[in-house]
Structure 1
């Protein structure tokens, strides 16, 4: 019965391909256009738009093996045989095609005829009200009624958050009495390891909204999920998912790296399994472009990495080690996920940097946390203050879950309510800081559009189109017409205007009609294939069903196309020069410039930037035709086209192919020939987040203007430094630097002479306190550097001098006091003296015992302040004072 994990995966996908299903590769762990999920947590999650009918699926039948991340049961990972945060989910899906009968019959066929699992060890559950499923299992499959168990909603009604859901039927495998708990009630649903549920057939009939209301879907769908690791454990007759072939290899590597022999210590075995699970998840998350952070999916990644690092410490591994396991993970998964091979070095860098950063603070954090826990134990308390937990998170990078886990091991509970309050306050502060940004855009649009309304986009072929106005919305309300000066939203039956998408900004232009002129300010995609034009009426009135000519601003469109095609060239050049990990993380294409974010772990060198520019400009100079190929998604992927960041593709897609240099899926507008771009120039390279770099660049006329401006600047600079040629500018600047340095040295010499003269005067007025002298430097000046120099020289001449500077700067007074260590030993505290002095002046001050500073605004009380300082010092040094 043994079958490798790779074999099971492939046999499943091939089986459903034979049943007319389209095989799709695993989607990214990052959900696309789905705010209800942080990470893909089920095989059906990326397919929700197809289930809801929002998008057209590439085929009515689809099969996938989807990588998933789930963390609700993270505390059970490593402690049970089947819990994991990372797993693969095999699935077959029907979008309004087949339903319960085919799903059940095919599942049984695959299990019994392909996997050849013994029928007598298989059990089935159904939702208690699903008589239809019972009839199919009993009458068509031939399963005995006593092997079909009816279960309640909690067990056999599938839903995760909002979205598609419905009753389900699960298939269980009986691992034998020896795996059971021995209780008379042991059976399906028992918490022991005897009966293992490995395949869930979900009959998607409803859509659950945010209010918990179930809406019946027009076309019922099929969504199945079979845990690959679970079925592999059954087929390989092992006790745990950590024992199956591809996972055991990783577990063995963890033991090798940590020098621990698995099976010797139950608690340490848990740590090995936690690391084994978490390293798989982190490799795939980083591979999909997720980076560690304190929010969202980045927080989930950081939590997994830091949790694994802590368990490494429990195995005696204090230095960064997780990156040493990456190659083994890649080796285990390279067949179904070959992209990991190309990204391996990048993944190692990110892991090493994050773990090293954590190691720099973990000891201090652990010491503080353990100290707080010890205090609680001494006081016989069990609640850890939420403020401490928040400080651990905010200052030391401890995820709350890690703090809770460590505390729980000591029998301590964290006050999460207070933690959440502080977290909310922090979020509100951040939200307030971004208020202007949040109010920008179209976030306040709330219009309802009929389902039969659709806009045909013709902007790939023309920049001018006769069109009919289908809908007008003013202040979110549908209206029949709008008048001059109104700003409204218009839907046309046809439009040449490109709606903002894929990082490319919208076109601008005009709508013209008889006695009518309107400016198109912005264009966005609306629901169900509509395009919303934000327009301002400049002349006349616009009415529904009237005809207009839609004209795109040709100059802006052409500039945008140049920048968009250049973005594709830049993306390809980065991957060729930096490595395949340099994937797009975001972009913006405007007429003026392009902005491109990409995954990379360090700043680009000047040499790399020059090399990238040369490579892109070389392709531009070759005047290579830019092909726009319209095809189906499956064919495009087989061609080798790469998908852009955060895009959702229908079955019909556009491939932008630039010779052998670049080929990407893209719905944006592009030039016909790279020669049209003219020139490409990078103007900045910077960091936007940990592991994400940003390049800004310009093309065409903007690049030409940039060079002209640079030449003009050089010309002015040449004139300023009196250089005859551009190449002579540097040597002239070096001469000026030498001259400035010489002059600065002369100034310093002059300052020293002035200081020496002033020292004699100050020491002549000094007040003696035994072995100590109080030297008061009272003057008007803005040169505080000179004051500090004078203070240093006083102390050089007499190490026991106590220096009090009272410096008037306009209507303000600055106090600066310094004394020797000997004076501090006698009780002098500059911090306390300055605090009292500044209080007299109506201000504040303080500092260390040997140095302090402060200030005030009441210059009329300088004499009183000086007397205060002398009185304080006299009291402190009265034992040795001899005034």
Structure 2
């Protein structure tokens, strides 16, 4: 029987894989990414093991094998040869249909991240082997007590016309499982379907009784925490047709899944997954970081201070976040990115509320423990650690800036609800907490629960819908109307009123600031208040000071909010500078503002962050271009946006691929050095003298001018401005926002190089996450072309070549990589063309040989005509060659030929013939008459002039029928 000390988590995993790889001949397939880039219909790669009923939904964890089950696997891929596979799949269940987020921490087994151990058979073994191996592994290898195991099988469904799966029941009985431990299951519990149509079949679960010494059959599938499902075998043997009927599949498959964390808890004899060594190291690190009491494993009311629940939530959430970010996920406000943001903010609040620890860099200090624990099996965890930690820190810091204000406002809303004698939070207020302060609704729901309150779900949904409609209206108004601007008369008015210029030094800092409204502009005039202004009316606001960046120097403007907590909100959509006044334009979200109001100015740090990367990236690019092309390179313009940077410069010719590669390499070296970035205002006359300084020719600069240098403090430059060694330093006049160190940029990838005017070139590049994404796309394409090259020659490959060629041209990836990919594709395409020419030539010869051989045979004397199918592809040129041969060499004969393949998706058939003139006139028919008979059978159209005809049909299955019809016609007309 099981000895808990013998089964550390890592051994549990390797034992499963070793059993199926070494003893049962399975191929190991590494876990796919939890970010399913190739399937936008999925938020994450997940599984149904943790839902109460596993067989009712598509097991998305087998997403990487979906093409095999659907019969659509690329025949050139490695998967086409795969018969048996095993792995441990990373899974995330949070958001969308499969969402365990709100249950995590409350019980012993819910997780947002977990592993699924699995073994698959693709048309190889089936029920007998799957059941026997499940039993052998659980009993003989893991040493689990068979008396604690229960198996379910599909008990049939009379309404659906499905018979019970007695075969599986008998298999469990025959290997030794007690009769009263083998239980029938319903259609919902024990019949798995991919959807309304597609592969499906019965499934058989294995359940474990943690208590033992009893018959727990009545507790199976009853959500009892001590009788848990640990494994499920799905037998994919039917296909659900469009009419709802079931047809047996020609190849039957097995798809199994065993919850890793749950199996570990069984083998370590723990009642909770969280009591195993999967989590204990994380708990120890949380205690170290917080100084809190140790984890004690209490639940519900027994967890009096809520600390154990917080331990579980934080440990779970760091697992999800670290794996998702390592696989390329990025927190944002849409789809899977929003789910990640929700998870981090939920966890961050527990860090502060339950452990009383300031948030800002907590998860980045906890994540290394997880990485150390699991990177031996999931090495991808070590590939992007700096970037992962930076994202975690930035997200925490972003939330921390509004958390205090949001929590205070929540308390106001809660107090208002209690004062009104209700226990329900207003739905509009709940939406406001999300929209303004970044509180996901599930986080507000949790806070309400802590205060004995509920939220008005209907009111929340209505407020959300109204906000989205209003947003559409303002965006439409913004798109259709011009941006509100200040003209010379407006500026004259402000000067006359003595309004001081805006202090915008805060744009170089981080975080929100308190400021005062100094002017409000509506309908081309300055007003005292926004009271009565419609939400779709564009408004301009001037503050005494601002942390918003006004568009200048090629860098895009900031967006964000101007807020009076709980009273008013203004959404800033654009920021411009007019004569020293920073003008924030946008739309009112709710409430009203008055000149003199104290407000909080919140720029969108998550938008400015990639802008900073791209702006410093532009300086690095400028430096690299000068190194590669020489000092004659002069900047002619630039654009710094969140998703890209654009740099225009003087150069007579386009850059070669070698030059572009060198520019990227030098940029990479500068980034990898992680040099600090310095900035200082310097008198313009002195700044112009700095050796190697870069400035835009013709640009008017302020005095003093801001000097930005990479790697060398500006103060150091000023000690010896003429020193020629500064030529090897990136030094520019620049008023933009920049990173602290070049390492923040991560990498710089050039995605476009072009000419925009005579002697002016343009480079477009991406940095950070965008650079990582284009690199991933390029890597996928190298693999895609390798698979394509291995694909069997034929019409299908020719058709795919057209699709791939078009898609390759549309790619936005590294210019250098794209050129390499195009070169690879060109070589493959040339081989396809050469092979196609050779094939067509061989097929043309085969068609002509068929004609000559027939008319050289004795049969031709009896039947002076040939009607036949040539054993070649649907090659119209080959049929044409044979018909022309008959016309020139056998002018007194009749030939009608067919070619086409009835296998596969292409059902096309080509046909054509020649009818000798003397025979046609004597017998009273033409080649066109024959073609009409053929088209009537195989479909399509045919045509021709004189004695020859050629056509294309749509149903190659009916070629034999067409041949019979033509032969019958000839016999009748020729009286044979």
TM-score by length of 2: 0.46
Asked whether 1:349 is paired with 2:483, we answer no
2:202 matched residue in structure 1? 167
| 1:786-805 → structure 2 map (5 Å cutoff) | none
Q: Which residue of 1 aligns with 2:149?
A: 122
Q: What's the counterpart of residue 26 of structure 2?
A: 21
2:183 to 149, 159, 162: 149
SS at match of 1:27: coil
Residue aligning to 1:40:
45
Contact in 2 for aligned 1:158/1:167 (Cα 8 Å): yes
Q: Following the alignment from structure 2 to structure 1, what is the Cα–Cα distance between the partners of residues 744 and 193?
A: 35
8 Å CA contact 1:36, 1:161 repeated in 2: no
Offset from partner CA, 1:350-383 (integer Å, 9 cap, x none): 1111111111101111111121111111212233
Provide, for residues 592-616 of structure 1, a one-character-per-residue CA deviation record: whole Å limited to 9, x for no partner. 888665545999xxxxxxxxxxxxx
Q: Distance in 2 between matches of 1:84 and 1:90?
A: 15
Q: Distance in 2 between matches of 1:220 and 1:581?
A: 51
Sort the Cα spacing of 1:285 and 1:206 in 2 relative to 1 into closer, same or farther, 3 A: farther
Is 1:8 paired with 2:12? yes
Q: In the aligned structure 1, how far is the partner of 2:242 from the partner of 2:456? A: 29
Matched with 1:315 is: 355
What's 1:498 paired with? Answer: none
TM-fit CA distance, 1:224:
0.8
Matched-pair contact (CA < 8 Å) for 1:559–1:700: no
Could you tell me how far apart the structure 1 residues matched to 2:322 and 2:165 are?
44
Is the 2:89–2:115 contact (alpha carbons within 8 Å) kept by the matching residues of 1?
Answer: yes
Q: What's the CA shift for 1:138?
A: 3.5
Residues 645 and 377 of structure 1: is their aligned pair in 2 closer, same or farther, counting only changes over 3 Å?
Answer: farther
Q: Distance in 2 between matches of 1:669 and 1:415?
A: 53
* SS of residue paired to 2:204: strand
| 1:88 counterpart SS class | strand
2:7 aligns to what SS in structure 1? coil
Match of 2:290 in 1: 258
For residues 704-760 of structure 1, give each alpha carbon's deviation from its aligned partner in whole angstroms, at most 9, with x where no partner exists.
xxxxxxxxxxxxxxxxxxxxxxxxxxxxxxxxxxxxxxxxxxxxxxxxxxxxxxxxx
Structure 1 segments unaligned to the other structure (5+ residues): 436-557, 604-640, 657-665, 671-693, 702-883
Which residue number in structure 1 is paired with residue 92 of structure 2? 69
Cα deviations across residues 484-533 of structure 1 (Å, max 9, x unaligned)?
A: xxxxxxxxxxxxxxxxxxxxxxxxxxxxxxxxxxxxxxxxxxxxxxxxxx
- Map 1:578-617 onto structure 2 (within 5 A): 597=766, 599=768
Distance 1:135 1:651 in 2: 46
Name the residue aligned to 1:505.
none
> Given the superposition, is the C-alpha separation of residues 345 and 402 from structure 1 closer, same or farther in structure 2, using an over 3 Å criterion?
same
1:820 corresponds to = none
Q: Indicate how the Cα distance of structure 1 residues 571 and 152 shifts in structure 2: closer, same or farther if over 3 A, else same.
A: farther
The SS at the match of 1:245 is coil
Q: Aligned with 2:220: secondary structure?
A: coil
Contact 1:55 1:650 survives alignment (8 Å): no
* Secondary structure, aligned partner of 2:377: coil
Describe the shift of the 1:395–1:337 C-alpha distance in structure 2 as closer, same or farther (beyond 3 A): same
Distance change in 2, residues 1:642/1:185 (3 Å): closer
Deviation at 1:345, TM superposition (A): 2.4
Q: Secondary structure at the match of 2:392?
A: helix
Matched, 1:653 2:793: no
Q: Distance in 2 between matches of 1:397 and 1:22?
A: 45
Deviation at residue 112 of structure 1 after TM alignment: 1.6
Question: For the structure 1 residues 654 and 331, does the alpha-carbon distance in structure 2 shift closer, same or farther, using more than 3 Å as the test?
Answer: farther
| Post-superposition offset of 1:272 | 0.8
Aligned ranges for residues 383-398 of structure 1 at < 5 Å?
Answer: 383-398=424-439
> 1:99 Cα deviation (Å)?
2.1
**Alignment partners' CA distance in 1, 2:662 and 2:244:** 47
For residues 635-692 of structure 1, give each alpha carbon's deviation from its aligned partner in whole angstroms, at most 9, with x where no partner exists. Answer: xxxxxx9885776967963899xxxxxxxxx99889xxxxxxxxxxxxxxxxxxxxxx
User: 1:295 matched to which residue of 2?
Assistant: 334
Q: Could you tell me which of 279, 298, 318 is aligned with 1:247?
A: 279
SS of the residue corresponding to residue 116 of structure 2 reads strand
Change (3 A) 1:361 1:123: same
- For 1:655 and 1:599, locate their aligned partners in 2 and report how far apart those are by CA, in whole Å: 32
Per the alignment, in what secondary structure is the counterpart of residue 133 of structure 2? helix
Compared CA separation, residues 215 and 306, structure 1 to 2 (3 A): farther
Distance 1:574 1:417, change over 3 A: farther
Counterpart CA distance in 1 for 2:20 and 2:116 is 14
Which of the numbers 81, 104, 109 marks the counterpart of 2:136?
109
Cα distance change of structure 1 residues 207 and 390 upon mapping to structure 2, 3 Å threshold: farther
Q: Which residue pairs with 2:165 in the alignment?
A: 131
Is this contact kept in 1: 2:206–2:231, CA < 8 A?
yes
Relative to structure 1, the CA distance from residue 317 to residue 419 in structure 2 (aligned partners, 3 Å threshold; closer, same or farther) is same
User: 2: distance between equivalents of 1:344 and 1:293?
Assistant: 19
Q: Could you say if the C-alpha distance between residues 271 and 215 of structure 1 is closer, same or farther in structure 2, counting changes exceeding 3 Å?
A: farther
* Partner SS, residue 341 of structure 2: helix
Deviation at 1:47, TM superposition (A): 2.2
Change in CA separation of 1:587 and 1:288 when aligned onto 2, cut-off 3 Å: farther
User: Kindly tell me: are residues 655 and 189 of structure 1, through their superposed partners in 2, closer, same or farther at Cα, counting changes over 3 Å?
Assistant: same
Distance 1:115 1:586 in 2: 50
Q: 1:203 aligns with which of 201, 213, 235?
A: 235
Partner of 1:522: none
TM-score (normalised: structure 1):
0.51
Q: Structure 1's 600 and 74: CA in aligned 2 closer, same or farther, altered over 3 A?
A: closer
Kindly indicate whether the alpha-carbon contact (under 8 Å) linking 2:209 and 2:216 is maintained by their aligned counterparts in 1.
no
Please give the alpha-carbon distance, in whole angstroms, between the structure 2 residues aligned to 1:207 and 1:103.
20
Is 1:81 aligned to 2:108, yes or no?
yes
Q: Does 1:231 align with 2:263?
A: yes
CA distance in 1, matches of 2:37, 2:187: 29
SS of the aligned residue for 1:246 comes to: coil
Residues 184-232 of structure 1 show CA distances to partners (whole Å, capped at 9, x for unaligned) of 9853234333222111111234567999998875533211111111111
Name the SS for the 2:279 alignment partner.
helix
Q: Which residue of 2 aligns with 1:510?
A: none
Shift in Å, 1:581: 10
Q: Which runs of 5+ in 2 are unaligned?
A: 48-60, 157-163, 477-653, 675-741, 756-761, 791-800, 807-811, 820-976
Match of 1:420 among 461, 467, 471: 461
Residue 146 of structure 2 contacts residue 177 of structure 2 at CA under 8 Å; is this kept in 1?
Answer: no
Name the residue aligned to 2:308: 269
Q: CA deviation at 1:399?
A: 0.8
In the alignment, is the contact (CA less than 8 A) between 1:201 and 1:225 conserved in 2? yes
